[in-house]
């Protein structure tokens, strides 16, 4: 298996100012090609450290991908280090990138300064992949077997995340062209409603019976549930896919509606697809989730096709006046109750005229209500066929509770839609 | 200056499944102690790689902090590597941590299995800092000068972020007790409304006149603006603070209300403090921000004291019916207009009876309205003294636009509150 290392260059990561998200994105893509990432490294903007560290990584890996250290005011350090590493004696200007730089800055109404133009200058012993989203070109250094004892390639990418991620398809193409990769075939099965351990127990007989060359990974995430990833290395892609799908068909009856997608997907997107395909509309009434359900739903492009709006009813007066939750329901059952969740969902459905509505009332913390434990949420979903409610109890962390409440609400909504308007994926 | 390295252990980071946030949090804390982080590293769950990499880091750094590799099913590998590294021949059980493990699992209604109890077993040559938030103890290995050519300490922390962050105060105390740290004194100045480059130009005369031993850092963030951090290493903390504050006093007139806090703060928290201290209440009406303003405001604990609620009016019908925006205003000025933003703010203020209200209408993208460019937002803030509106134009990225619109809205709200109820920080 080809091994790779990912290296970020820049003081801003070492001082904790920014979190490195590039390395994770690059690692995912390399994994899809069947390349194993065995190290990630962050180093500062210092010539000797850059030369020493990259040399070390190239000695132990066939592919090294670096990001960062290429801004207009800093790239002297990184580029000089790359020139030394590659034995380049001079820089050459890449005219295509120079044109992109000019267009890029003019498009923002900015003048092109010498330091901007100099970003198109690269060490002579490198190939360039154009950066169409920014100013710093992607530099590719190929080292013969004699240099590090094995053929090795260094890709130097800009640090700005959308530029680094934007360059990845071209970088992956280059890797595929230059390496004998057998490739990897995989499918994801998105599952919500079971913790990793409970899921593993539930499907253990299926897992044990998987073909030897088929690899199963559990990838849990608080917002999207557990992603099961089935992979096969090498072989013919089409026949691999057919074999993987045959295994998924055996898994379906064990999980039923807990499976919400066979893509790398989110609950809010799945809900959107169900609504859009059935021509139905949605609204929300939020207490403890404070707007986060609406925020997640509207983070999906095109959500205005089915999402009419929502009411965040933090104050009881808003629950009563805007959502028309009867004062008596609140007095009798308490604000945190299935009855109030149902009345909120029905209220916002009436108010907006939507087909479906989802509502939450609960205690995200830190303060409680003296009756229910912090972490309690009641979720209501109202639709043309009536209203369902569910209670969940999580833990004692406000931000995590808001996220968990939101995910559980989207999931109850999804299951309700599935039963009324949807078809199993 | 004492140098440190941070190392994460675990395959889940290398395959890109999770993003490492621990290293950034640890780096920030070390920076506050005046310790320089010169490397961060991620390696997999493999014995030889753990031993080799930690040995290498300890050779080049006085302090190495590792996170991860300590889950109940995986800690055999990491612990065996740590035992080898420290020359430990056997494990000893830490009874205090064993008790915490029992309480922790019982509290979740779970049985204590042997693999859980074994988490309290640590290599004999280490000291333990108790982990009160989870099961894996923090292990401290102190190496004499003879081992790596300089005294070196390795701290092994659990990988779960809230456990790792929860352990940091104890770890920092231990570092302070065992190292001759001169300490660092610093203050943050939170600025919103100017890009880093424009801010730097505005305050260049002040920056140039700073005392030589005072260090200024620009730490920009999309959501919170630019944090200016003024630091002095060594010396007496009280007199350093007085000197830093004298410089901040000179800076104030250059920035005025662009400065929103002298703590490491957020806009939603600052808004909350202004509302709470004046006993005023708030509501929101959101179109293009889709609930994110309410979400940010309610992410602050105690926000129910001043936040009454909000309406997300994605559909025009909700704007007209719930917020009572006149149809004529929408026809005449368009949905994305200052007039509609003002009417939305006034409508939700009326609906909820709040003292203040903030509203947004705009185009987050990807689709536009044929009139305004994608990235346009109109913000309205209504209060007892009338309504103000502001227009901003950002770029072509839906998720980033929602975040930028939200931050700009919180800032207009903050400036309005400052003029009517607040006092400059």
CB contact under 8 A, A14 and B27: yes
Give residue A263's pLDDT.
Answer: 87
Q: Is A291 on the interface with B (CB under 8 A)?
A: yes
Q: How far B13 CA lies from chain A's nearest CA (Å)?
A: 7
The CA-atom distances, in angstroms, between A52 and each of A57, A65, A137, B352 are: 9, 15, 23, 62
Q: Is A297 on the interface with B (CB under 8 A)?
A: yes
CB contact under 8 A, B318 and A309: yes
What are the b/e assignments for B329-360, b being 16+ CB within 10 Å?
bbeebbbbbbbbbbbbbbbbbebbebbbbbbb
Q: Which residue of B has its CA nearest to A305?
A: B315
State the average pLDDT for chain A.
93
Choose the mutation target among B298, B350, B353, B360 for the interface with A, i.e. most A CBs under 10 Å: B298
Q: How far apart are CA B85 and CA B79, in angstroms?
A: 10
Distance of CA A60 to the CA centre of its chain: 29
Binned at pLDDT 50, 70 and 90, residue B74 comes out as low
Q: Which residue of A has its CA nearest to B42?
A: A40
Q: Is A197 on the interface with B (CB under 8 A)?
A: no
Q: Which residue of A has its CA nearest to B406?
A: A295
Give residue A197's pLDDT.
Answer: 79
Which residues in A lie closer than 8 A to residue B27 (C-beta atoms)? 13-16
B262: left (phi over 0), alpha (psi -120 to 50) or beta: alpha
> What is the H or E stretch that residue A24 is in?
helix A22-32
The CA-atom distances, in angstroms, between B123 and each of B75, B85, B89, B174, B419 are: 12, 10, 8, 19, 61
Q: Which residue of B has its CA nearest to A5?
A: B14
Q: Which member of B20, B312, B397 has the closest CB to residue A20? A: B20
Q: Is A17 on the interface with B (CB under 8 A)?
A: yes
CB contact under 8 A, B314 and A308: yes
Q: How is domain B184-261 classified at the CATH fold level?
A: Alpha-Beta Plaits (3.30.70)
Q: How much of chain B exceeds pLDDT 70, in percent? A: 99
Give residue B373's pLDDT.
Answer: 92
CB contact under 8 A, A314 and B293: no
What does the domain layout of chain A look like in residue ranges? 3-178, 184-261, 267-420
Q: Which residue of A has its CA nearest to B32?
A: A15
Q: How far A87 CA lies from chain B's nearest CA (Å)?
A: 25
Q: Which tens digit of pLDDT belongs to each residue from B130-167?
A: 999 888 999 999 999 999 999 999 999 999 898 999 99
Q: Which residue of B has its CA nearest to A30?
A: B15
Q: Is the pLDDT of residue B425 over 80?
A: no
* Residue A29 in tokens: 């893509």
A383 exposed, middle or buried (CB, 10 Å; 0-12, 13-18, 19+)?
A: buried
Average pLDDT of span A246-252: 97
Q: How much of chain A exceeds pLDDT 70, in percent? A: 99
The larger pLDDT score, comparing residue A291 to residue B108, is at: A291
Q: How far apart are CA B393 and CA B391, in angstroms?
A: 7
Give residue A75's pLDDT.
Answer: 61
CB contact under 8 A, A397 and B318: no
Q: Is B277 on the interface with A (CB under 8 A)?
A: no
Q: Which tens digit of pLDDT belongs to each residue from B387-400?
A: 999 999 988 789 98
CB contact under 8 A, B16 and A37: yes
Q: Is B72 on the interface with A (CB under 8 A)?
A: no
Q: How far B43 CA lies from chain A's nearest CA (Å)?
A: 5
Q: Which of residues 224-263 of A touch B (CB under 8 A)?
A: none
Q: How far B38 CA lies from chain A's nearest CA (Å)?
A: 6
Query: Quick one: DSSP state of residue B134?
Result: S
Give residue A396's pLDDT.
Answer: 79
Report whether A119 contacts A101 (CB < 8 A). yes
Average pLDDT of span B301-311: 97
Residue ranges of E strands in B144-183: 152-157
Q: Is the pLDDT of residue A322 over 80?
A: yes
Q: Which tens digit of pLDDT belongs to each residue from A260-311?
A: 999 889 999 999 999 999 999 999 999 999 999 999 999 999 999 999 999 9
What is A3-178's CATH number? Answer: 3.40.980.10
Q: Alpha-carbon torsion B406, B412, B416, B418, what sign?
A: positive
Q: Is A42 on the interface with B (CB under 8 A)?
A: yes
Q: How far apart are CA A171 and CA A56, in angstroms?
A: 22
pTM of the model: 0.85
Q: Is the pLDDT of residue B198 over 80?
A: yes
CB contact under 8 A, B28 and A19: no
CATH 3.90.550.10 fits A267-420, yes or no: no
Q: Which member of B14, B40, B286 has the closest CB to residue A38? A: B14
CB contact under 8 A, A291 and B298: yes
Q: Is A50 on the interface with B (CB under 8 A)?
A: no
CB contact under 8 A, B13 and A24: yes
CB contact under 8 A, B311 and A315: no
What are the b/e assignments for A150-184, b being 16+ CB within 10 Å?
eebbbbbbbbbeebbbbbbebbbebbeeeeebeeb
Give residue B185's pLDDT.
Answer: 86
CB contact under 8 A, A24 and B20: yes
Q: Which tens digit of pLDDT belongs to each residue from A42-70?
A: 999 899 999 999 999 999 999 999 999 88
CB contact under 8 A, B290 and A298: yes
Q: How far B301 CA lies from chain A's nearest CA (Å)?
A: 7
CB contact under 8 A, B309 and A303: no
Choose the mutation target among B104, B294, B403, B410 for the interface with A, i.e. most A CBs under 10 Å: B294
Q: Is the pLDDT of residue B116 over 50?
A: yes
Q: Is the pLDDT of residue B101 over 80?
A: yes
Which residues in B lie closer than 8 A to residue A27 (C-beta atoms)? 13-16
Q: Which tens digit of pLDDT belongs to each residue from A192-232?
A: 998 887 898 899 999 999 999 998 888 888 889 999 989 88
Q: Which of residues 137-166 of B touch A (CB under 8 A)?
A: 162
Q: Is A317 on the interface with B (CB under 8 A)?
A: yes
Q: For residue A366, is the peptide bond before it cis, meaning its omega torsion is within 30 degrees of 0?
A: yes
A361: left (phi over 0), alpha (psi -120 to 50) or beta: beta
Binned at pLDDT 50, 70 and 90, residue B75 comes out as low
Q: Find the length of chain B.
A: 425
Q: How far apart are CA A171 and CA A33, in angstroms?
A: 12
CB contact under 8 A, A322 and B322: yes
> What are the phi and psi torsion angles at B247 (to 5°)?
-70, -40
Binned at pLDDT 50, 70 and 90, residue B372 comes out as very high
Q: Is A214 on the interface with B (CB under 8 A)?
A: no
Q: How many CB atoms lie within 10 A of CB A113?
A: 10
Q: Which residue of A has its CA nearest to B8?
A: A40
Q: How far apart are CA A381 and CA A285, in angstroms?
A: 10
Report whether A184 contacts A92 (CB < 8 A). no
CB contact under 8 A, B311 and A308: no
Give residue A424's pLDDT.
Answer: 45
Residues 6+ away with beta carbon under 8 Å from A290: A312, A314, A364, A402, B294, B295, B297, B298, B299, B303, B307
CB contact under 8 A, B295 and A299: no
Give residue B197's pLDDT.
Answer: 78
């Amino acid at each position: 298996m080809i091994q790779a290392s990912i290296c970020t260059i820049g003081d801003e990561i070492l001082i904790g100012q920014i979190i490195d998200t590039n390395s994770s994105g690059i690692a995912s893509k390399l994994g899809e090609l069947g390349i194993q990432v065995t190290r990630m490294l962050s180093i500062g903007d210092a010539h000797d450290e850059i030369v020493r560290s990259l040399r070390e990584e190239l000695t132990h890996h066939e592919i090294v991908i670096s990001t960062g250290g290429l801004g207009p005011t800093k790239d002297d350090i990184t580029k000089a280090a790359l020139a030394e590493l590659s034995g380049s004696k001079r820089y050459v200007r890449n005219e295509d990138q120079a044109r992109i730089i000019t267009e890029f800055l003019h498009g923002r109404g900015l003048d092109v300064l010498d330091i901007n133009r100099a970003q198109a200058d690269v060490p002579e012993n490198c190939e360039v992949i154009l950066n169409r989203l920014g100013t710093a070109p992607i530099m590719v250094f190929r080292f013969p077997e004699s240099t590090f004892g094995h053929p090795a390639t260094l890709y130097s990418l800009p640090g700005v995340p959308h530029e680094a991620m934007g360059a990845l398809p071209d970088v992956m193409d280059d890797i595929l062209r230059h390496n004998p990769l057998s490739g990897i075939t995989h499918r994801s099965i998105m599952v919500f409603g079971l913790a990793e351990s409970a899921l593993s127990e539930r499907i253990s007989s299926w897992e044990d019976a998987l073909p030897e060359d088929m690899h199963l990974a559990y990838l849990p995430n608080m917002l999207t549930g557990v992603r099961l990833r089935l992979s096969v290395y090498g072989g013919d892609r089409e026949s691999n896919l057919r074999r993987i799908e045959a295994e998924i068909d055996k898994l379906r009856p064990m999980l039923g509606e807990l499976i919400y997608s066979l893509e790398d997907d989110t609950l809010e997107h799945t809900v959107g697809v169900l609504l859009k395909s059935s021509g139905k509309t949605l609204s929300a009434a939020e207490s403890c989730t404070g707007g986060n359900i609406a925020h997640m739903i509207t983070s999906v492009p095109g959500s205005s096709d089915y999402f009419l709006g929502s009411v965040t009813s933090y104050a009881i007066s808003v629950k009563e006046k805007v959502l028309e939750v009867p004062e008596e329901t609140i007095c009798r059952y308490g604000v945190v109750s299935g009855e109030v969740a149902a009345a909120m969902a029905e209220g916002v459905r009436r108010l907006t005229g939507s087909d479906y509505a989802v509502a939450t009332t609960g205690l995200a913390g830190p303060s409680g209500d003296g009756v229910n434990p912090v972490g309690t949420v009641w979720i209501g979903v109202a639709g043309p066929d009536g209203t369902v409610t569910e209670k969940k109890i999580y833990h004692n962390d406000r931000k995590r509770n808001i996220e968990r409440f939101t995910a559980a609400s989207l999931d109850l909504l999804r299951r309700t839609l599935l039963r009324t308007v949807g078809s199993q994926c």
